[in-house]
Every structure is written in structure tokens, then in C-alpha cells.
Structure 1
Amino acid sequence: MIAWIVFLFVLVIISKMLVDKAKYEKSTYKKETQFSYWKVKRDKGLNGEYLTVNEIDQLKGFHKVLVNVYLPKARGGGTTEIDIVLLHESGIYSIESKNYSGWIFGNEEYKNWTQTLPNGKKQVFYNPIKQNRTHINALKRQLKELDGGFFKSIIVFSERCELKKIVLTSTDSKVIKRKRLRHVIYNEGTRVLSGSQILSIYKQLKEYSNVAHDVKVAHIAEVKKRQR
């Protein structure tokens, strides 16, 4: 009897996994990254991006998505990596994905924010608003012909965390949990980009999401060097 129950339990788990994998294989995230299902499932950061893109896929209105976009910096060489770029009728969104758990504390003016885990352990991470401003500026340099007001910054945290105390001193960035993403975009309202513009911008930026492996390696090395 116990063996039969265990067998059924394993069968249910495998069935759910196969359904989940089939869903992933058809996703925009897989199309854009070509990452394997297992690579994304094992990597917390990539899985957070995948879940965020899934939210975007449910948006109404014409849109295109790019993932892991490596744009050149203004000075000193190197690249800055944007997790997700959403090209929507209401604007161009630079989305920074933070697939964190625990309590999140942050102030727009501070260099670092804090993640407090249930066991009391604290982790410090670079202010994602400042991080995303770098991304926005890189996008503006690449898309000089567009009005600066078209570019919007959104920081998306996991549903597994609680935004305990986030202090914002300006209105140019949104800090939200993943399930509010579509609501925030819908509230932007005004249509500023046509379908043809979106396709043209997508084509222009796509080359920066299909970068060579050595570009990615150099970017990671640069990030680690800054963190020392």
C-alpha cells in the first residue's frame, strides 16, 4: 500500500514537471534566450526572469521582449546588462528582476539595500534603482531618436519577499512585486509607440542580446571586480 502511494506521488510530481517543461519550451523566454529548462530551473536569477516574462506575455496590446541585453557603457569600455527590455505601446521599459525572498529594505538615495532572511541573516545588494538608471541611460544612447520620456524603469521583486520599507524620493522608478507588473504597465495608459516602431526598435536591440560568450564572461568579471 505504501509503495503504491509513493508511486502515485512520484507520478504526480513527474507529470507536473513535464507540463511545466512543455510550457517553458513554448515560452517567449525560451525563444529569446535558448536556455534549457533545467538551466533555468537550477538558477534562481534566471527563473525569476522567466516568471517575469511570463507575466509580460499576458499583457494586452502589441509588445516585444528582449532578455539579457548587453549594451556598451558610455565611458571606460565594458557593458551593462539589462535583465529584460519590454517594448510596449506605452513605452520602453527597463526591468530589473530581483528574485529574492525575505524582507527588503531600501532607500532610493542609498548606495546599497538590504535583504533580511527569516534566520536573521542580512545580505547587502547594490541599489537596483541606481542600477537601472545606468540601464536606462544606455538605452537612451542606443535609441537617440526617441523622446526621453518614453523610457521607464521598473524593479520587479519576487512574490516570495516582502517589500518591508522602500523609500522613493522621485517618480521615475517603480519598485513592485511581480504580480503587479501588468497593472503598473496598464496604468501608463498613453500610447507612444506604434507596432512598426516597436518592431524596428526590437530589431535594433536584438543584436545586443545575442552577444558572444566572451562578452558575457568579460561582463561577469567586471561585475565581480566592482564588488571587491
Structure 2
Amino acid sequence: MFKKIWSLFKTQPELVSPLTDSVAASALPPVTAIPPRLARSRRKKKKSEPDWISTPQEPTTAELLLGLPSEYKVLNDLLVTNPKSRSGYSQIDHVVIGPRAIFVIETRNLTTGEIRGGRREANWSVSSSRVKMYNPLMQHRAHVEAIQAHLGDYKRVRLVSMVTFTNRCRISVDPAVRYVNSDEMIIYDHELVETIQRKTERLETELPETLYQEQDTQAIWNMLNTVNSTDHQIRAEHMAKAKGIK
């Protein structure tokens, strides 16, 4: 009887003690855990792009205007007196003096949204903003008038108003201001140089007698360059008074 009971104990599987289990586990190769900080840095490295495929910086308007032929004279960032303005000055982004006209240019750096508005509407809408935009052509007229006031004997020169937007937004405005037959235009910045040249060609066809020689364009350039205020204090005061308006 005793032998039978003893045989039953012998047939039971051996239980693994906690000590035996830990020893067996230690025999396995260790799993190397990545520290959380290092894991995050690795993920960031995957997302980053090498320098040679990074997006190139877009040229500024001043750089784009360098592509015009030599008969065009360019002035950038002018600050001229204007008794009608709040600060007593008007700041004009760019002026291009050509053989047929003077192009007064304002640049807008809007990067998103669709711009909608009519030529005679005071306020335009931008889909990416709840705030209405004051018609930039109406706003830019004060700049054009300020330039004309400083032309001396050349006040009869044709003045063309141009407002540019980046191609990252969408222009859906009155078609009348998108064509070169207008003296007030809304265009994309990458169209600027081509539009100036096309407008010059059109004026040459319409009014062939209005041709200004190099000495004339240089005289206008000198005149506007002379009235341009470069005083840092005057510019700072103008910016402070004109804050919120262009």
C-alpha cells in the first residue's frame, strides 16, 4: 500500500520554484530598452530632412525687379512726405521708372486664403480671416498720389498702381484689375516683372509718342531718391503713427 502511494507522488510533474524561474530568466539574453529621451530624438531625426532637399527661399520683390532690363530704374522702400496722411509721410514699397510709365508697387504678404472683392468695393474678404480687408487699390492710391506730388516737371508721366500678393493665396477679384489694360492692377508677385514689360509694350502701341529717354528716367530717379527720407527717427515715428494701416 505504501509503495502504491509513493508511486503516485513520483508521477507528478515537478513544480518550478520562484528561485529556479528567476535563474532561467537570467539565462536569456537581456532586451536592451531604449531610453525615452533617446527614442524621441530618433523619431525627430526621421522627420527631419537633409539640407540639400530643403525648400529654397523665395526671392524678395526687390530681387525679382533685378530681372528687368537696364532701361528700367528701381527704387525700394521710399518714405516721402504726404500732408494728407496720418503721419505726414507715405511709405512706398517699390517704384519702377520705365520708358513709358512709372510703376508704384505695394507688396502684400498674405500666405493663405482666397481674396474676393470688386474694384469699387471698399472692403474685400479673405476666406482665411473673419476680418475684412480694406480695398488695397483704394489704399494704394494715396501712395501713388504721394509719388506724383514729387515729380516736378514730370507730373504728366503715366502712373500705374500695382498691388502684389504671394502665390500661396488665391486672387478672385474683379477681372478688370487683372489685365494689363488697367492702370490699377492686382497680381501675383511672380507675375510682376512680366506684367511691367507687357504694360510697357501696350503703352508703346497705344501712345507711341510718350517715350522717355534714359536721361528722363534717370532725372526722375534722382528726384525721388532725393526726397526719400532715410532718417531712422522719422521712419520710426512714421511706423508708430501709421500702425494698423499700410
| CA-to-aligned-CA distance 1:1-35 (integer Å, 9 cap, x gap) | x89x87x9444369x87xx6xxxxxxxxxxxxxxx
How many residue pairs get aligned? The number is 191
Q: Which residue of 1 aligns with 2:7?
A: none
- Check whether the contact 1:156–1:181 (CA below 8 A) recurs between aligned residues: yes
Q: Cα 1:225–1:129, aligned 2, differ >3 Å: closer, same or farther?
A: closer
In the other structure, the counterpart of 1:178 is 189
Answer 1 or 2: which has greater helix percent.
1
Over residues 70-125 of structure 1, what are the superposed CA-to-partner deviations in whole Å (9 max), with x where a residue is unaligned?
111144761011111111223111001112122111222222322222xxx33333
Map residues 122-137 of structure 1 onto 2, 5 A cutoff: 122-137=130-145
Kindly provide the amino acid, as one letter, of the partner of residue 72 in structure 2. Answer: H
* Larger Cα-atom Rg: 2
* 3-state SS, counterpart of residue 108 of structure 1: coil
Are the structure 2 counterparts of residues 158 and 226 from structure 1 closer, same or farther at C-alpha, using a change threshold of 3 Å? closer
Give the Cα–Cα distance (whole angstroms) in 1 for the partners of residues 182 and 157 of structure 2. Answer: 12
Match of 1:146 among 154, 158, 163: 154
Larger mean CA deviation between 188-197 and 162-171 belongs to 162-171
* Deviant stretches of 4+, over 6 Å: none
Amino acid paired to 1:82: I
2:240 maps to 1:221:
yes
Could you say which structure has the higher strand fraction? 1
Pair 1:59–1:225, CA change in 2 (3 A): closer
- Which residue is equivalent to 2:81? 72
- 1:1-228 alignment runs, 5 A limit: 9-12=49-52, 51-75=60-84, 78-101=88-111, 102-117=113-128, 121-166=129-174, 168=176, 171-187=182-198, 188-189=200-201, 190=204, 192-224=211-243
Question: For structure 1, which runs of at least 5 residues remain unmatched after alignment?
Answer: 21-46
Change (3 A) 1:98 1:11: closer
Change (3 A) 1:115 1:59: same
Q: State how far apart, in whole Å, the 1-side matches of 2:65 and 2:122 are.
A: 29
Contact 2:97 2:217 in 1 (8 A): yes
- Residue 11 to residue 209, structure 1, CA distance change in 2 (3 Å): same
1:67 and 1:85 in contact (8 A); partners too = yes
Distance 1:147 1:212 in 2: 26
User: What fraction of aligned residue pairs are identical, expressed as a percent?
Assistant: 22
RMSD: 3.2
Q: Residue 109 of structure 2 aligns to which amino acid in structure 1?
A: N
Normalising by structure 2, report the TM-score.
0.65
* Distance of 1:148 and 1:124 partners within structure 2: 35
